[in-house]
Structure 1
Amino acid sequence: MSAEIAGKIIGDGQPAYIVLEAGPTHTGLESAKKLVDISADTGVDAIKFQMLDVERLMGEKDVIFSYKVLSDKAKNITDTVEEPLYDILKRRVLTKDEWKALKLHCDKKKITFISTAVFPEEVDFLVDELETPSIKIASGDINHLPIIRHVARKGVNIQMDTGSSDLWEIERAIGAIESEGNKNILIHLCPTGYPARLESIHLRMITTLKTMFSEYAVAFSDHTPGWEMDIAAVALGANLVEKTITTDRTIRSCEHMFSLEPHEVRRFVSSIRELEIALGTFRRTIPDEAKKGRLKVRRSIFLTKEMDAGNVLRIENIDFRRPGYGIGPDEINYVIGKRLKRKVGKDEMLRWEDIC
C-alpha cells in the first residue's frame, strides 16, 4: 500500500507526507510566492495550488457559497459570509505564465509543487509543460470519470478527494483510474464544511478506506482550526495530511480561518514527527536501559528476620520489597523450603547464591 510523488514513497511504514494547501488562500502570483517562501525549509514535503478556468467552470455565476471568517482572533469570534462561488474562485486564477513562474519558484525553493486541475487542458499543461508529479481531483469531480481517466493516463500520482461522496462513487472512481493502468493513487478523506463541524469529520473513515482500498495510501485533508485532527488522522494511519496555509487567519475570504499561520508551520510539522516517534512499532520492544530502570520499581525477596545457615526458608520469613535486583516474586516457589548457605540478616535482600 503505497504511492509515490517526485521520488518519495508514501505509505505505511513511511513518515506522513505533509502538504500545505495554498490554492484557496493566495490572491495572485506574488502572494502565492510568499506562501511558498513561508512553506520552504519547514519540513513539509509539498505545497498545493488549484489551477482552474473559472470562466469556463462556472456555467452559472450566481451560485451562492457560505463560509465562516474569523473576525476576532483573541476572542475566537466568527462571522458567516455569503458570496458567489464565482467570485471566490476568481481570486485563485493565474495566467499560464504566472503558473510557470510559480512552479519555477517552488523548484528554486526545493519544495514539490502539486495542483488540482479541472479540465483536460489544465492537466496537459501541468503535467506536460510544468512536469507536475501529482494531480488532485476535486471532491466535486468524483463522478467526472472523463477527467479522472485523463489524469490517470498521464501516469502521474493521482490524488482522489472524496468529500461527501458515497463509498460506491469512490469505488467507481478508483476503478476508472485502475482501468487506465495507473495504481499510483492517494485517496483523501476530506470532511465537508468551511470549517468542518466535528460531527462531520468521521476520522474512523480512514480505517474504512484503508480496509476497502488496501492497495492504496490514504490521506486526510483538514478543514478544522488547529492541527489536532491531523495528529489523530496520522495516529489512525493516514499516510498524507493536507493543511491550508495563510498569512493571516483573519483575512475575510474562504478557508483562511482554519489555516496555519507562518509561525505555526514548524510546530505543526514537529507535532506530527514527534507523534510518529511515539507511535513506535507493533512489537513490544523494551530498550536495555528501560529494562535496567524498571528493576528500581520491581520487587525482590527480603528476609523479615535474621536467619542462620542451614535454616529453611518459609513464607512467614519473607517480604517483597523494592528494588528488584534480587530474586523476584514470580520465583517464590523456587525459594520456599530451601535452606540457606550462609547467615542472612533481617531486612537483607535474598540472592540465589544464598540458597542451597
Structure 2
Amino acid sequence: MILAAKTAGADIVKFQKSNLEAKFTAKCLEQPYDSVNSWGKTYGEHKRYLEFSEDKFQELMDYAKELNIACTASAMDILSARFLNKLNVPFIKIGSGDVNNLPLIKEVCQMGKPVVLSTGMADMQWVRKIIETVKESYTEINVNPPYKLVLMHCVSR
C-alpha cells in the first residue's frame, strides 16, 4: 500500500498506532468477539491480530523512507504517541475518537510535534477548548505562535 500511494503521487502515508492495554480495559479486551469479521475469539485477540507490532511499524517506516515518501500515524493513546515521537514522524494525527482526550492532545503538543486533529462531531465549544488546550500546551514548552495545529472536520448524517 505504501508503494501504491507513492506510485499514485501521494506525499505521505498514515497508519494508526495503538497500545491496546493503554487504550482498552482488560475487561474490554477479554470480551468474546464472535463475528464473521473477527480475527480472534476475544476483542483483544482480534485487535492484536490487526495491530502492527513496534518492530513491524519500524519496518513500515523504513520502507517508506526507502521509497522517499513520508510516513506518520494516528496515535490512539499516550504510549503510542511516545512511540511515534521516537520514530520522529513529521506530525502526529489524533483521530475524532480521541477529540475529547485532552491528556493525549496535551502530550502530543508538549512533544513539540505538529498536530493534525479530526474534530469529528465535536461542537464549536469543544473545538475552542481544543484550541485553548493546544495553545497552553505549546506555551508550556515555549513554542510561539503560529501553533502547529491542523483541524479537520467531517460532517456525518
Same fold (TM over 0.5): yes
Q: Which residue of 1 aligns with 2:58?
A: 100
In 2: Cα distance, 1:141 partner to 1:134 partner = 16
Among 73, 97, 122, which residue is 1:165 paired with?
Answer: 122
In 1: Cα distance, 2:53 partner to 2:43 partner = 20
Deviation at 1:58, TM superposition (A): 2.1
**Counterpart contact for 2:118–2:153, Cα < 8 Å:** yes
Matching of residue 140 in structure 1 with residue 127 in structure 2: no
Distance 1:175 1:124, change over 3 A: same
Q: Secondary structure of the equivalent of 1:131?
A: coil
Q: Whose radius of gyration is greater, 1 or 2? A: 1
Q: Which residue of 1 aligns with 2:150?
A: 186
Distance 1:58 1:150, change over 3 A: same
1:15-71: CA deviation from partner (whole Å, max 9, x where unpaired): xxxxxxxxxxxxxxxxxxxx111111321111100010124322224498xxxxxxx
In 2: Cα distance, 1:190 partner to 1:138 partner = 11
In 1: Cα distance, 2:32 partner to 2:117 partner = 24
**Counterpart contact for 2:73–2:93, Cα < 8 Å:** yes
1:220-265: CA deviation from partner (whole Å, max 9, x where unpaired): xxxxxxxxxxxxxxxxxxxxxxxxxxxxxxxxxxxxxxxxxxxxxx
Which amino acid is the alignment partner of residue 99 of structure 2?
Answer: I
Among 18, 24, 29, which residue is 1:52 paired with?
Answer: 18
Moved more, 37-46 or 83-92: 83-92
Runs of 4+ in 1 over 6 A off after TM superposition: 81-85
Deviation at 1:119, TM superposition (A): 2.5
More helix, by proportion = 2
Distance 1:63 1:57, change over 3 A: farther
Which amino acid is the alignment partner of residue 123 of structure 1?
Answer: A
Q: Which residue of 2 aligns with 1:112?
A: 70
Deviation at 1:166, TM superposition (A): 1.8
Matching of residue 37 in structure 1 with residue 21 in structure 2: no
The sequence identity of aligned pairs, in percent, is: 23
In 2: Cα distance, 1:125 partner to 1:151 partner = 11
Q: Secondary structure of the equivalent of 2:89?
A: coil
In 2: Cα distance, 1:189 partner to 1:102 partner = 28
Which amino acid is the alignment partner of residue 72 of structure 2?
Answer: I
With structure 1 as the length reference, what TM-score do the two structures score?
A: 0.37
Deviation at 1:85, TM superposition (A): 6.3
In 2: Cα distance, 1:52 partner to 1:104 partner = 19
Deviation at 1:118, TM superposition (A): 2.3
**Counterpart contact for 1:50–1:92, Cα < 8 Å:** no
In 2: Cα distance, 1:55 partner to 1:120 partner = 11
Q: Which residue of 1 aligns with 2:133?
A: 176
**Counterpart contact for 1:51–1:94, Cα < 8 Å:** yes
Deviation at 1:184, TM superposition (A): 1.0
Q: Secondary structure of the equivalent of 2:50?
A: coil
In 2: Cα distance, 1:163 partner to 1:171 partner = 14
Deviation at 1:110, TM superposition (A): 1.0
Matching of residue 152 in structure 1 with residue 116 in structure 2: no
Deviation at 1:103, TM superposition (A): 0.4
Deviation at 1:120, TM superposition (A): 2.3
Structure with more relative contact order (C-alpha pairs < 8 Å, separation 6 or more): 2
Which amino acid is the alignment partner of residue 38 of structure 1?
Answer: A
- RMSD of Structure 2 on Structure 1 (CA): 2.4
Count matched residues. Answer: 142
In 1: Cα distance, 2:13 partner to 2:76 partner = 18
More strand, by proportion = 1
With structure 2 as the length reference, what TM-score do the two structures score?
A: 0.78
Which amino acid is the alignment partner of residue 186 of structure 1?
Answer: V
